[in-house]
């Protein structure tokens, strides 16, 4: 399940159509990063670069030249090298860049200093994400300065730098049918991993053992890597929003919060489920869990074309604040508590974020000073939560240390939204049935 060459070509065409006349866009690939000594982190391509090329090798540079007669899409990449390929794997080389990745022209990246200034020369504007890659920033300025030094011989340097992110990230915000298919598959694989963790969980199992089961399910279904560091937090660890140590032993009576999603073909899934280690919610756990679920379902109902980004968050705040008052964890009128943001003692994060090639994907949340209006193809998470700190002396002891979050991935459709991660149980009854069947 891959994105086609035609779609990558369409993306480049769409970007160039929005660029100003007489401009050039320059996009560097990601570089390999040392983990320790002579060991690299697993390479993962820069999302912007991959979105436009589908090219997954390091040390490459994409150049787009709208209107160039001899080809608008140029790729600089590593040259073929039999010795290095023997040690580190095959390379496409410039020939592969044209044959397999549809570049109009391709050159060895080692020749970029000689070639790229000539491509920049005569262009009025440079589209580039300045400030993101310090070392590459210096290279870009070096190339521009080479042209500036030749003004007396008739060279014409660019007069303006424009932020590429503004155009490119708006394109990435709208997911195509092919992208949705990949994200749905990533959601299905991630859902199966959550189900596996629920089935194998019991008191005495370590958090890292559940993490291993999740990673196993990802890998055996073709998703080698997680989209982010998996969170497996039992008991009070579930109250830590970005808990990733995953080292404690799960105890009887604990709730287990798992926030984990795979990455498939450079697209992320992002799911959270919370469930009782022993297969049965306590009275207090059930009350807070059903409140979070009610908030999530209310938020999902608001996600449709024409509504704005923040309506889903507002829906969760109203439901959670009202519920906390009814349960006695907050005191006062709902409207005043919302105005004072009293709910933030228990619910301190947003209800979701854009989702796509990055788990916290690109795209503006506001246009001007107004919340962005939702449109078909936008993808996001919906993830309300309640976290009662162990040292919160304002509430009865029976509530303390309970952390709950429920998260799903949704994509906006013509008349509503589709939940891409619906294959994981999330009602109290569904979870308890699944876990008790597994224990039998």
In this predicted structure, the answer to whether residue 300 has a pLDDT above a threshold of 90 is yes
Tokens describing residue 271? 């799911």
Residue 346 CB partners (closer than 8 Å, separation 6+): 320, 324, 329, 330, 386, 387, 388
Torsion sign over Cα 440, 236, 225, 431: positive
CA dist 238 → 232, 271, 281, 416 (Å): 8, 15, 15, 31
State pLDDT tens for residues 320-375: 999 999 999 999 999 999 999 999 999 999 999 999 999 999 999 999 999 999 99
Element (H, E) at 371: strand 370-371
Which one from 105, 211, 213, 407 is the annotated catalytic residue? 407
Quick check: is 407 catalytic? yes
Could you tell me if 118 and 86 are in contact, meaning their C-beta atoms sit under 8 angstroms apart?
A: no
Catalytic residue among 273, 387, 408, 409: 387
pLDDT reading at 438 higher than 90: no
48, 105, 361, 383: which is the annotated catalytic residue? 383
What's the pLDDT at 421?
98
Annotated catalytic residue, options 270, 358, 361, 408: 270
At residue 115, what are phi and psi to the nearest 5 degrees?
A: -100, -45
C-alpha to C-alpha distance for 22 and 317, rounded to whole angstroms: 48
Q: Which of 211, 405, 408, 409 is catalytic?
A: 405
- Kindly state the greatest CA–CA separation across the chain: 84
Would you call 194 a catalytic residue per the annotation?
Answer: no
Selected catalytic residue, list 114, 152, 242, 391? 242
- For residue 206, the 8-state DSSP code is B
Identify which of 145, 147, 157, 53 has the alpha carbon closest to the alpha carbon of residue 106: 53
Are the C-beta atoms of residues 67 and 122 closer than 8 Å to each other?
no
79 catalytic residue (yes or no)? no
**What are the pLDDT digits (tens) for 64-87?**
999 999 999 999 999 999 999 999
Q: Which is catalytic among the residues 179, 259, 263, 361?
A: 259
Task: Specify the pTM.
Answer: 0.96
What is the pLDDT averaged over residues 388-411? 97
Our separate counts of H helices and E strands in the chain read: 13, 21
Q: Is 166 a catalytic residue?
A: no
The reply to whether 70 belongs to the active site is: no
Which residue in the list 123, 243, 353, 361 is annotated as catalytic? Answer: 353
What dihedral do alpha carbons 228, 232, 236, 239 form, nearest 10°? 30
The per-residue pLDDT for 440 is 63
Active site residue 387: yes
Residues 404, 255 contacting (CB under 8 angstroms)? yes
pLDDT in tens, 107-135: 999 999 999 999 999 999 999 999 999 99
Q: How confident is the model at residue 3 (pLDDT cuts 50, 70, 90)?
A: very high
- CA separation for the pair 230, 263 (Å, rounded): 12
383 annotated active-site: yes
Query: Given this model, what pLDDT does residue 286 score?
Result: 98
Active-site hit among 90, 95, 360, 430: 360
d(CA 158, CA 145): 10
Three-state secondary-structure class, residue 149: coil
Mark whether 349 is an active-site residue: yes
> Which of 194, 259, 192 has its CA nearest to residue 232?
259
- For the record, the structure tokens of 177 come out as 């049918």
């Amino acid at each position: 399940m891959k994105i086609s060459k035609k779609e990558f070509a369409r993306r480049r065409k769409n970007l160039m159509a929005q660029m100003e006349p007489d401009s050039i866009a320059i996009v560097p690939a990601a570089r390999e990063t040392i983990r320790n000594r002579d060991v690299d982190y697993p390479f993962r391509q820069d999302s912007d670069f991959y979105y436009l090329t589908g090219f997954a090798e390091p040390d490459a540079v994409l150049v787009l030249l709208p209107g160039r007669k001899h080809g608008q899409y140029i790729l600089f990449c590593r040259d073929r090298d039999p010795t290095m390929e023997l040690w580190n794997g095959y390379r496409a080389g410039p020939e592969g860049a044209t044959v397999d990745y549809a570049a109009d022209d391709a050159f060895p990246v080692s020749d970029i200093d000689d070639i790229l200034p000539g491509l920049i020369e005569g262009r009025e504007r440079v589209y580039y994400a300045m400030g993101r890659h310090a070392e590459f920033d210096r290279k870009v300025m070096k190339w521009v300065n080479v042209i500036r030094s030749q003004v007396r011989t008739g060279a014409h340097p660019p007069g303006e730098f424009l932020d590429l992110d503004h155009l490119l990230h708006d394109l990435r915000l709208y997911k195509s049918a092919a992208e949705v298919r990949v994200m749905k598959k990533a959601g299905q694989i991630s859902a199966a991993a959550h189900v596996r963790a629920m089935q194998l969980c019991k008191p005495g199992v370590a958090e890292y053992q559940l993490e291993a089961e999740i990673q196993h399910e990802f890998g055996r279904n073709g998703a080698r890597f997680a989209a982010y560091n998996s969170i497996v937090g039992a008991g009070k660890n579930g109250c830590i929003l970005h808990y990733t140590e995953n080292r404690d032993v799960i105890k009887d009576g604990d709730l287990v919060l798992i926030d984990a999603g795979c990455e498939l073909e450079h697209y992320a899934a992002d799911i959270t489920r919370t469930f009782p280690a022993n297969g049965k919610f306590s009275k207090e756990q059930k009350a807070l869990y059903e409140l979070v679920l009610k908030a999530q379902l209310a938020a999902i109902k608001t996600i449709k074309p024409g509504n704005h980004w923040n309506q889903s968050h507002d829906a969760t705040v109203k439901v959670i604040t009202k519920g906390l008052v009814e349960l006695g964890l907050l005191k006062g009128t709902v409207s005043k508590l919302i105005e004072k943001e009293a709910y933030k003692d228990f619910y301190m994060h947003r209800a979701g974020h854009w989702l796509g090639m990055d788990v916290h994907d690109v795209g503006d949340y506001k246009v001007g000073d107004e919340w962005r209006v939702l449109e078909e193809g936008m993808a996001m998470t919906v993830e309300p939560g309640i976290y009662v700190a162990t040292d919160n002396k304002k509430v009865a002891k029976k509530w303390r240390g309970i952390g709950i979050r429920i998260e799903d991935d949704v994509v906006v459709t013509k008349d509503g939204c589709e939940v891409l991660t619906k294959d994981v149980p999330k009602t109290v009854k569904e979870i308890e049935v699944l876990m008790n069947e597994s224990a039998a």
